[in-house]
């Protein structure tokens, strides 16, 4: 796989795209991020051909859960996989606007990161969205391999390395050696699954309604509180369903602990499963170097703590983990 990527890189790709469930980044050859915005579109009316694009990216993000009249917000990707070709196409068009005055996109060579378990149908859907956005057929590289490269790891070495790439919609767990992926495991849901679980818990147990954006902020605050002795509660703003009035609710951290830990433990269990399928000769390198954690959700200290507790192996959160895939894409461009 790595050799194939290097062969393709010799064709001098023009730019690269990190199309994520939460955010989309476009990287140029200089390694600069020329676009970084939320992966969200807002349409006036239908999302189909008849719908009119109303807002994209940072302009559409605040509209989630606050739509009025005919407006509809859409996340083009769910659980790390493209689920709406039209929205993906519009997001790519918007992301590539800074490039259009400089070159013809159809003649450009493009690299896009994809999950390791993406099916052929999902890969074809991505190719279709890229074509509709005016791009040539993209080269697809596995996100965790890119994350490893972007973290400065020597993926071509005859040595086992484990990467856990934690995204908003998907966690990819791989063992890499000699430029290839030896073992891969995936946990669908990612940080978005925790957000949904928090919304459901408050709705069911507290008769309290919060939106997706509020749930994401609550998840971050809760994760920090769980790792900070002395913090016994977190506050959240929402709607009291018993009287229909807005209020601030103080939540016991220990009551919500199982929700966040359940997701972290699911990742830890998948890591253990990956170890069980790994050749013994590859394990020694991982024991020496530890497990490398990348992705936006890796910044939640609880994930690293639960993996380390479950496996007994040290876990390293890589520098700026949310940018690891983008840095890897920049390396492949050069």
Give the model confidence (pLDDT) of 304-330 as tens digits: 999 999 999 999 999 999 999 999 998
Strands 110-114 and 15-19: parallel
Encoded tokens for 286? 């991982």
* 207-to-214, 241, 255, 257 alpha-carbon distances in Å: 16, 5, 15, 19
pTM of the predicted protein model? 0.88
- The yes-or-no verdict on residue 237 having pLDDT over 90 is yes
Query: pLDDT value at position 229?
Result: 80
Mean pLDDT of the chain: 89
Residue 189: pLDDT over 90: no
- Cα within 13 Å of Cα(5), Cβ side: 25
Kindly tell me if the per-residue pLDDT of 64 is higher than 90: no
Q: What pLDDT score was predicted for residue 6?
A: 55
Domains in the chain: ranges and CATH: 2-146+326-333 (3.30.420.40), 153-189+260-318 (3.30.420.40), 192-258 (3.90.640.10)
- Please name which of 89, 80, 170 lies closest in space to residue 127, comparing C-alpha atoms: 89
More confident residue, 52 or 45: 52
Highest mean pLDDT among 31-45, 70-84, 216-230, 237-251: 237-251
Look at strands 41-44 and 71-74 and give their pairing. antiparallel
Least confident of 33-42, 278-287, 294-303: 294-303
Q: Mean per-residue pLDDT for 134-163?
A: 93
Select from 267, 271, 323 the least CA-distant residue to 295: 323
* Average pLDDT for 167-182: 94
Q: Which residues contact 33 (CB under 8 A, 6 or more apart)?
A: 25, 26, 27, 323, 326
- Token pair belonging to 229: 């002795």
Task: Determine the average pLDDT of the residues in 254-269.
Answer: 92
Instruction: Give residue 280's pLDDT.
Output: 93
241 vs 12, residue with greater confidence: 241
Sequence-ordered list of residues with C-beta below 8 angstroms from that of 40, at least 6 positions apart, any chain: 56, 57, 60, 61, 63, 64, 73, 74, 75, 91
Report the DSSP pairing between strands 315-317 and 291-294: parallel
What's the mean pLDDT in 41-48? 84
Coil, strand or helix: which one is 12?
A: coil
**Residue 28: what pLDDT?**
84
Give the pLDDT band of residue 98 (cuts 50, 70, 90).
confident
For 97-106, 220-229, 310-319, 322-331, which range has the lowest pLDDT when averaged over its residues? Answer: 97-106
Confidence band, pLDDT 50/70/90 cuts, at residue 2: low
- Residue % of the chain over a pLDDT of 90: 63
By residue count, the chain amounts to 334
Cα 329 to Cα 131: distance, rounded to the nearest angstrom: 20
> What pLDDT, on a 0 to 100 scale, did the predictor assign at position 4?
53
């Amino acid at each position: 796989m790595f050799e194939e990527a290097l062969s393709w890189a010799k064709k001098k790709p023009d730019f690269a795209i990190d199309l994520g469930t939460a955010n989309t980044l476009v990287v140029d050859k200089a390694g600069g991020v020329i676009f970084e915005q939320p992966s969200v579109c807002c349409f006036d009316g239908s999302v189909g051909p008849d719908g009119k694009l109303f807002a994209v990216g940072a302009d559409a993000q605040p509209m989630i859960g606050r739509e009025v009249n005919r407006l509809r917000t859409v996340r083009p990707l769910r659980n790390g996989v493209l689920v709406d070709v039209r929205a993906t196409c519009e997001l790519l068009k918007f992301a590539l606007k800074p490039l259009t005055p400089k070159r013809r996109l159809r003649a450009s060579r493009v690299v896009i990161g994809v999950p390791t378990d993406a099916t052929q149908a999902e890969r074809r859907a991505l190719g279709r969205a890229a074509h509709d956005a005016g791009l040539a057929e993209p080269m697809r590289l596995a996100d965790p391999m890119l994350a490893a490269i972007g973290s400065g790891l020597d993926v071509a070495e005859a040595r086992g390395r484990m990467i856990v790439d934690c995204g908003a919609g998907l966690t990819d767990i791989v063992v890499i050696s000699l430029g290839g992926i030896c073992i891969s495991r995936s946990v669908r849901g990612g940080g978005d699954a925790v957000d949904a679980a928090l919304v459901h818990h408050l709705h069911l147990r507290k008769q309290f309604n919060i939106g997706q954006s509020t749930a994401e902020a609550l998840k971050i605050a809760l994760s920090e509180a769980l790792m900070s002795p002395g913090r016994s509660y977190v506050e959240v703003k929402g709607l009291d369903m018993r009287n229909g009035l807005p209020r601030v609710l103080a939540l016991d951290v220990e009551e919500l602990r199982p929700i966040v830990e359940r997701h972290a433990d699911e990742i830890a269990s998948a890591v253990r499963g990956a170890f069980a399928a790994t050749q013994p000769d590859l394990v020694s390198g991982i024991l020496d170097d530890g497990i490398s954690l990348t992705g936006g959700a890796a910044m939640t200290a609880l994930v690293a703590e639960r993996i380390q507790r479950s496996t007994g192996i040290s876990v390293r959160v890589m520098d700026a983990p949310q940018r690891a895939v983008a840095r890897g894409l920049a390396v492949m461009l050069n």
